[in-house]
């Protein structure tokens, strides 16, 4: 069993997910898609980790593996349950997975598709409670409490999802996720389908719930402004790997990886005199397929940094050797305690600007 620091609730180590590629009449496995490759990070109790990156980079797959909605190909997911016991979620089976999920829940991206239109709100929110054999009276009491907690009128518990707006449906989804009083919430782009004004309301609600209930959040998103507003720590993913992670403000103002700088430049501030405008031409902007690499049977995917083909700073070593995450911005004798880490051969010599 791994020992987690007292303030750590989740630690992911070497997490991988490879999906088989099948062909032919017999659907023989001829290769694999490396959706997530050697991902590692930790989340402190009561804080919010943001997972960001382009579509297809492996963010959602990582979140689903944390909850064991997907089985990892390799790696460990160390999680501290509410009773203090530390378990490797990746190795749990059967009833053990169900028990661990009591302390970890998910908020889905689409508030329309994530709720059964044939079930009233009462049944939608109480479903996890009924699965654990709560009585009807206790279920109604808990659902009423949850409705008030997420800012909905408890008198609406007999209504169906079609009677609610998108923002209200997402509040119902949040209430459902909170039903069993989890300590960890994985939120998979929970505001991307909502109007901007409603997004702000949901984000403020998540902050209030986090403060009141002591929740820990893994927040998956591609909207950098949302991530900067909500998250304490950010991990940037590219083609299945984490290329940089660090405290939010430090990462936004002083990125160490060229891909992080590229993301920040893609959503610039309207100030033409901002410091990052000086090197914006150095960033390659050509559209490119950023999906996970495919390894066919008997072959290996190309070695080297996955971002090398788009990076203006790439050299021969970038194309030949995969960079490992190392401490950024600290002396070598303090590398082990560094929270800001970057997977780039030239991180220490580059002068990149943030926003």
Q: Which value, to the nearest 10 degrees, does the dihedral of the CA atoms of residues 143, 145, 147, 153 take?
A: 110
Q: Would you list the DSSP string of 15-32?
A: EEEEEEEEETTTTEEEEE
Q: What is the pLDDT of residue 285?
A: 42
pLDDT (average), residues 20-42: 90
In a domain, 328, yes or no: yes
In a domain, 273, yes or no: yes
In a domain, 158, yes or no: no
pLDDT band for 295, please (50, 70, 90 cuts): low
What is the bridge-based pairing of β-strands 104-107 and 184-188? Answer: parallel
Percent of the chain with pLDDT over 70: 85
pLDDT (average), residues 294-315: 76
DSSP state of 289: -
Residues 6+ apart with CB under 8 A from 134: 126, 142
| Cα 108–chain centre separation | 12
Q: What is the pLDDT of residue 281?
A: 43
Identify whether the C-beta of residue 340 lies closer than 8 Å to the C-beta of residue 329: yes
Q: What is the pLDDT of residue 258?
A: 92
Identify whether the C-beta of residue 250 lies closer than 8 Å to the C-beta of residue 342: no
Span 2-18, pLDDT tens digits: 678 888 999 999 999 99
Please choose, from the candidates 77, 41, 43, 39, the residue with its C-alpha nearest in 3D space to the C-alpha of residue 58. 39
In a domain, 336, yes or no: yes
In a domain, 262, yes or no: yes
pLDDT surpasses 90 at 275: no
Most confident of 40-44, 92-96, 350-354: 40-44
In a domain, 25, yes or no: no
- The token pair at 106 is 């998910």
pLDDT surpasses 60 at 324: yes
Q: What is the pLDDT of residue 42?
A: 95
Span 215-273, pLDDT tens digits: 999 999 988 989 999 999 999 999 999 999 999 999 999 899 999 998 888 765 555 55
What is the bridge-based pairing of β-strands 86-88 and 104-107? Answer: unpaired
In a domain, 295, yes or no: yes
pLDDT surpasses 70 at 163: yes
Q: How many other C-beta atoms can be found within 10 angstroms of the C-beta atom of residue 153?
A: 10
Span 86-143, pLDDT tens digits: 999 999 998 899 888 899 999 998 888 889 999 999 999 999 999 999 999 999 999 9
pLDDT surpasses 60 at 302: no
Q: Would you list the DSSP string of 290-339?
A: -SPPEEETT--PPPS-TTGGG-TT--HHHHHSPPPPEE-SS-GGGGGG-S
Tally the domains of the chain. 1
Q: What is the pLDDT of residue 339?
A: 78
The CA angle 47-53-59, to the nearest 5 degrees, is 65
Domain of residue 350: give its range: 248-355
The CA angle 36-40-46, to the nearest 5 degrees, is 115
SS3 category, 274:
coil
pTM of the model: 0.87
In a domain, 126, yes or no: no
């Amino acid at each position: 069993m791994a020992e987690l620091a007292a303030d750590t609730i989740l630690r992911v180590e070497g997490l991988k997910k490879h999906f088989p590629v099948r062909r032919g009449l017999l659907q023989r496995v001829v290769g694999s898609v490396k959706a997530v490759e050697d991902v590692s990070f930790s989340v402190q109790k009561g804080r919010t980790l943001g997972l960001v990156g382009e579509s297809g980079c492996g963010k959602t797959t990582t979140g689903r593996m944390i909850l064991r909605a997907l089985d990892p190909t390799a790696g460990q997911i160390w999680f501290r349950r509410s009773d203090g016991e530390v378990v490797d979620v990746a190795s749990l089976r059967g009833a053990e997975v169900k028990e661990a999920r009591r302390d970890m829940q998910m908020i889905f991206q689409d508030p329309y598709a994530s709720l059964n239109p044939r079930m009233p709100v009462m049944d939608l929110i109480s479903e996890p409670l009924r699965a654990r054999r709560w009585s009807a009276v206790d279920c109604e009491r808990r659902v009423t409490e949850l409705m008030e907690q997420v800012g909905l009128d408890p008198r609406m518990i007999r209504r169906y999802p079609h009677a609610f707006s998108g923002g209200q449906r997402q509040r119902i989804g949040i209430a459902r996720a909170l039903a069993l009083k989890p300590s960890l919430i994985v939120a998979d782009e929970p505001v991307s389908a909502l109007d901007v004004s409603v997004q702000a309301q949901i984000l403020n609600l998540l902050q209030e719930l986090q403060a009141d209930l002591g929740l820990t959040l893994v927040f998956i998103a591609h909207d950098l402004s949302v991530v900067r507003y909500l998250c304490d720590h950010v991990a940037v993913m590219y083609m299945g790997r984490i290329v940089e992670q660090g405290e939010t403000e430090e990462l936004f103002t002083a990125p160490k990886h060229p891909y992080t700088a590229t993301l920040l430049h893609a959503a610039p501030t309207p100030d033409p005199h901002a410091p990052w405008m000086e090197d914006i031409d150095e960033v390659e902007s050509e559209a490119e397929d950023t999906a996970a690499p495919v390894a066919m049977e008997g072959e290996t995917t190309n070695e080297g940094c996955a971002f090398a083909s788009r990076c203006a700073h790439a050299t021969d070593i970038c194309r030949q050797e995969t960079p490992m995450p190392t401490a950024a911005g600290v002396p070598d004798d303090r590398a082990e305690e560094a929270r800001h880490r970057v997977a780039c051969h030239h991180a220490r010599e580059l002068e990149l600007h943030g926003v």
